[in-house]
Amino acid sequence: MSSSTATTVFLPIALAVIMFGLGLSLTAADFTRVVRYPRATVIALACQVLLLPAICLGLVLLFDLDPPLAVGMMLLAAAPGGTTANLFSHLAHGDVALNITLTAINSILAVVTLPIVVNLALQGFMAGEDAIGLQPDKLLQVFAIVLIPVGIGMLVRRRAPGFADRLNKPVRIASVVVLVSVIAVAVFQERGNVGGYIESVGLLALLFCVLSLTIGYFVPRAFHVPRGQAVASSFEIGIHNSTLAITIALSPALLDSSEMAIPAAVYGITMFLPAGVLAYLMNKRREPAVEKVS
């Protein structure tokens, strides 16, 4: 995936629109809801921040990826959950409120955790090579695209909740249209290389998504987290913010690497299959009884 106007200009715009839409659905209570769901929140965040990067590292070593692709996979693993998780969680009758809470908290935590994981990956896989590390001050520029639109969206909701409710659906539609358009343009520009990209990391990206979804569900269940919250955790952990990962990889001020963007780009396409299958299965097998919230 080469760096182009579609990916370096419109991709951050798409990310900002998506995060603004998330902000329209957030309130201050979403950040404090962890008090209501302490077990589910802590377990999900531990899986996201600690377990997934370790599993991704094992897969990268197993598949013996080229160094830039290996760093790109670790970048994807360190990226917070994507807002698409809310949609899949809703379809699977998961606890969408928990999804929103996890997305909000994890997006802030990623300001610290993401550069740590990526810089360690750069040292481990590209030691001695001319690679640009993730400096906190530069990374904050990208997360400004994430956090500022979220803050604006929350402010709009707080000041004019009725207007925010009316605006929520059009913004969601617009964000999907913008994102799909950007990806379509980028894929068209790289149509000659798409097959090679999928061959390089397609199976790994698909396997990583399946493992993430599986871990996100069964680890919380092992700790007796209610099913609805486990479903929410599964999608929150299994669906990463690939748009953010691509933006960081392609940004000239950050990683400035088209190869490192490949895993997130391939993942952004392949993850819909396992996520859709899981949502269908969860919807068919959902339990009629409401479990007690821990």
Tokens at 88, concatenated:
């899949």
End-to-end CA separation in angstroms for the chain = 45
Q: What is the pLDDT of residues 165-214, one digit of tens each?
A: 888 778 777 766 766 666 666 566 666 666 777 777 889 999 999 999 99
CA dihedral sign, ordered 42, 114, 151, 146: negative
Question: pLDDT value at position 183?
Answer: 62
Tokens at 79, concatenated:
């990226």
Query: What are the Cα distances from residue 107, in Å, to 79, 152, 157?
Result: 8, 15, 19
Along the 294 residues of the chain, how does pLDDT read in single tens digits? Answer: 555 555 556 667 776 777 787 777 777 766 666 677 788 889 999 999 999 999 999 999 999 888 989 999 999 999 888 777 877 887 788 887 788 788 878 878 888 888 889 889 988 898 755 555 566 666 666 667 667 887 888 888 888 888 888 887 787 777 667 666 666 665 666 666 667 777 778 899 999 999 999 999 999 999 999 988 999 999 999 988 887 888 788 777 777 787 888 898 888 888 888 988 888 888 776 554 444 444
Residue 205 lies in a domain: yes
Question: pLDDT value at position 210?
Answer: 94
Q: Say if residues 187 and 246 touch (Cβ distance below 8 Å).
A: no
Question: pLDDT value at position 289?
Answer: 40
Total count of domains within the chain:
1
Q: How many CB atoms lie within 10 A of CB 118?
A: 27
Residue 290 lies in a domain: no
Query: What's this model's pTM, rounded to 2 decimal places?
Result: 0.78
What is the CATH number for 267?
1.20.1530.20
Q: How many CB atoms lie within 10 A of CB 273?
A: 12
Question: pLDDT value at position 290?
Answer: 41
The DSSP-derived string for 121-137 is HHHHHSTTS------HH
The DSSP-derived string for the chain is ----HIIIIIHHHHHHHHHHHHHHT--THHHHGGGTSHHHHHHHHHIIIIIHHHHHHHHHHHHT--HHHHHHHHHHHHSPBPTHHHHHHHHTT--HHHHHHHHHHHHHHHHHHHHHHHHHHHHHHSTTS------HHHHHHHHHHHHHHHHHHHHHHHH-HHHHHHHHHHHHHHHHHHHHHHHHHHHHHTTTTHHHHHHHHHHHHHHHHHHHHHHHHHHHHHTT--HHHHHHHHHHHHSB-HHHHHHHHH-TTTT--HHHHHHHHHHHHHTHHHHHHHHHHHHHS--SSPPPP-
Question: pLDDT value at position 128?
Answer: 56
Residue 133 lies in a domain: yes
Residue 289 lies in a domain: no
The label of the residue with tokens 């299959």 reads 273
Residue 194 lies in a domain: yes
CA dihedral sign, ordered 115, 118, 120, 123: negative
Residue 293 lies in a domain: no
Question: pLDDT value at position 214?
Answer: 94
Could you list the residue range(s) of the whole structural domain that residue 183 is in?
5-284
Q: What is the pLDDT of residues 190-204, one digit of tens each?
A: 666 667 777 778 899
The DSSP-derived string for 214-234 is HHHHHHHHHTT--HHHHHHHH
Residue 291 lies in a domain: no
